[in-house]
Chains A and B, each alone.
Chain A
Amino acid sequence: MSASNERLAAWTESELAVSGRVLEVVRAPASVLSTDGDRVDPTAPEIVQLAADLVATMRVSPGCVGLAAPQVGVGVKVFCVDVSEHAKTKTHHGTFVLCNAEVVESSRNEKAREGCMSAPDFTGDVKRASRVLVRGQLPGTGEEIEVRTDAFEARCLQHEIDHCDGYLFLDRVAGAHAVYARQTYL
């Protein structure tokens, strides 16, 4: 594991030193979900608070493995993930928040069914890279992180980065027969 990956795996929200608040998750067709988020200063106090709020909101949402700022109504490039408990996870780095993240390298596309708290009535088949290198910054310190990961964490990162760029998984579904009415939402 690279130093950057180790740093990310060691990160916890306690580094933010603020209490997270549970925010309301907005649903499509809220326009914030279709708007390219603004880049942020990861050291700004409001971004540190937002990072804590995202983690707190993710924690209380059953089945939630990632949450992006636009999903709580804030149009900026910040998201949190935690896929550590998910059955499809291979590599993971626990709970972390990244700011201004982007996919630097990607390979090995795989198709899988995705859902989203912001479009809870649908699921869809989406083809995404199963190996990625993602670059972003940690909230609070602003440290630049390059995380190389795979499988479900890679999918989750791409899903959240899409949110930050104003895209839902619905914008990526593989075709007209690749979107489904969700029977139940975890």
Chain B
Amino acid sequence: MTDAGTLHAITVLGHDRPGIIAWTTDRLAGLGLNIEDSSMTLLRGHFAMTLICAGAASDEAISEALDPLSADGTLTVTVREVPHEEAPAAPGSQWVLTVHGGDRPGIVSTVVGQVAAVDGNITDLTTRLAGDLYLLVAEVSLPDGVDTAALEAAIKAAATELGVGATLRAVEADEL
């Protein structure tokens, strides 16, 4: 659905507790908004949710409806109208990048910098820290024509400089 009113990006961040999603989505439904996409997780125990909603309500009306959520100061809510994004015409090839090793500053920026250098796009990213083990898993879209062997070599070289390991693998999609 893309033609029913405007699109709004809504973020809710902060202290986790039961019922945040139920309450939020009830208010959004009350405004006649349709949740077109969503992502929610706990980041180091913090509630982190992003919703893309479509409907006729304004940013101001949505913010007002969600105001009680942030009343006690433990949650931060933002609402912003966003444009309709067209899907990329040439998606290129899809890859999974894994990096793991001893935790230190700069792992993410250094490794994904290699991806950015060839105009690769990170389409999903997870990083985890457990004890001294830092783990990064990224889904990467590469434009056609990228020398993937050279990119993998550059990523591995950058990872080696950091004392971590990296692998870049093509996504295998099984068509059924």
Contact with A175, one of B96, B102, B103, B132 (Cβ below 8 angstroms): B96
For B124, the chain A residues whose CB sits under 8 A away are 175-177
User: Which size bracket describes the interface of A in this complex?
Assistant: 20 to 34
**Least Cβ–Cβ distance between B103 and chain A, in angstroms:** 8
A160-186 contact mask (Cβ, 8 Å, vs B): 1 or 0: 000000111011111111110100000
Asked if B100 and A177 sit within 8 Å, CB to CB, the answer is no
User: B130 at interface (Cβ–Cβ under 8 A)?
Assistant: yes
Residues of A contacting B: mostly: loop
Which residues of chain A in 16-65 are interfacial with respect to chain B, using CB atoms and an 8 Å cutoff?
A: 27-29, 31, 34
Asked if B133 and A28 sit within 8 Å, CB to CB, the answer is yes
Residues of B contacting A: mostly: strand
Shortest 5 CB-CB contacts between residues of A and residues of B: A121-B130, A34-B165, A176-B124, A29-B102, A176-B126
Q: A28 to B135: give the CA distance in the assembly, Å.
A: 10
Number of interface residues of B (CB under 8 A): 27
User: B128 at interface (Cβ–Cβ under 8 A)?
Assistant: yes
Q: A34 to B159: give the CA distance in the assembly, Å.
A: 12
Q: A176 to B137: give the CA distance in the assembly, Å.
A: 5
Which residues of chain B in 97-135 are interfacial with respect to chain A, using CB atoms and an 8 Å cutoff?
A: 98, 100-103, 124-126, 128, 130-135
**Least Cβ–Cβ distance between A89 and chain B, in angstroms:** 24
Stretch from B19-27, B64-72, B78-86, B166-174 at the A interface: B166-174
Asked if A27 and B172 sit within 8 Å, CB to CB, the answer is no
User: A11 at interface (Cβ–Cβ under 8 A)?
Assistant: no
Asked if B133 and A176 sit within 8 Å, CB to CB, the answer is no
Asked if A109 and B138 sit within 8 Å, CB to CB, the answer is no
For A170, the chain B residues whose CB sits under 8 A away are 98, 100, 135, 137
Contact with B101, one of A34, A166, A172, A177 (Cβ below 8 angstroms): A34
